[in-house]
Amino acid sequence: MGSLPHVVEDCFGLLQLFSDGSVYRNPEVPCPTPLLDDDSVLYKDLVFDSKRSLGLRLYKPSFTSLKKLPILFYFHGGGFCFGSFTFPHFHNLCVRMTTALNAVVIAPDHRLAPEHRLPAATDDACLAMKWLKGQAMHGNVENMDPWLTSVDFDRVFVLGDSSGGNLAHHLAVRFKAGSTELAPVRVRGYVLLSPFFGGSVRTKSEQEHPCEAFWNLEMYDRFWRLSIPIGSTLDDPSANPLGPCSQSLADVPLDPIAVVVGGGEILRDRLEDYATRLRELGKKVEFVEFEGQQHGFFTDHPFSEVADL
């Protein structure tokens, strides 16, 4: 008689992977952040891929003097294993960006690991971008979502937080400079907020500061074990975009990229190295460091003094 399935990976008791491959998810992920819902922003939920039941949340300012609003795609974090645009802290950040930037914000979901391992999330992010192309291709307001009739498809920006920042990198590589595959949509730049990258060789900050107030290196490794393809390593291209198993980006034209990191992050040195190496390849990359801040500082506190900077 065989043994009963046992837990082989456990994320805070909220997500458990069993030895037989089955997965348990707590249906109610605790999130103490109160939901911000005022009259400054309107939002609604749409389906962008009915086959996979993938949705997005669309935000727009309640009042604006602009005739054509820029578009900001926001890809949430969660280590590829958690997260949705319905989570209050992600929602609140989108409200903050909608008002601060006077833009339409599009926040898509993606399939989650370990049920759907990478590159599933990357594929879903690409589909979300192509959904916007489909809207722009309608060419007339009768077939377009009414909230998109007053946007500027020529001014689209992509922002990803943590694992969403990882997705933003892969989108930049996939669509390349000029994003001609998405025409008439034109991506003007990518912002990677503390992008979740990994690698088999530890950096100095990972070795000397393996713990933050909440996050630690073992947690990061657990997320990678749950999200990368079975049998792969931390040098999988999904985890280590400039690693030994990844394609060379020397001849890949990229739109401008901004890498934002907290100075107290475990991944600080890895992200600086990422920006430095892209610059050495001739890419337009800006590295912005917020001294003393830790992972998630902008997402968790979108109305803080630091976020205002």
Q: What are phi and psi of 108, to 5 degrees?
A: -85, 155
265 is catalytic: yes
C-alpha to C-alpha distances, 224 to 86, 217, 221, 242, nearest whole angstrom: 24, 11, 5, 16
Closest of 43, 190, 71 to residue 136, by C-alpha: 71
Helices 163-175 and 120-137 sit at what angle, rounded to 10 degrees?
60
Measured between alpha carbons, how far is 65 from 270 in angstroms, rounded to an integer?
Answer: 41
Taking the CA of residue 275 as centre, how many other CA atoms within 13 Å lie in the half-sphere pointing to its CB? Answer: 22
Who contacts 196 (Cβ-Cβ below 8 Å, separation ≥6)? 77, 79, 80, 162, 163, 165, 166, 220, 223, 267
Q: Determine the length of the chain.
A: 309
Measured between alpha carbons, how far is 96 from 302 in angstroms, rounded to an integer?
Answer: 7
Q: What are phi and psi of 168, to 5 degrees?
A: -60, -40
Active-site residue, selected from the candidate residues 76, 89, 91, 162: 162
Closest of 186, 73, 183 to residue 139, by C-alpha: 183
Who contacts 187 (Cβ-Cβ below 8 Å, separation ≥6)? 129, 156, 157, 158, 171, 175, 179, 255
Who contacts 94 (Cβ-Cβ below 8 Å, separation ≥6)? 43, 57, 59, 74, 85, 105, 107
232 is catalytic: no
40 is catalytic: no
Q: In the chain, what is the straight-line distance between the N-terminal and C-terminal CA atoms, in Å?
A: 62
| Joined tokens for residue 111 | 């399939």
Q: Report the catalytic residues.
A: 162, 265, 295
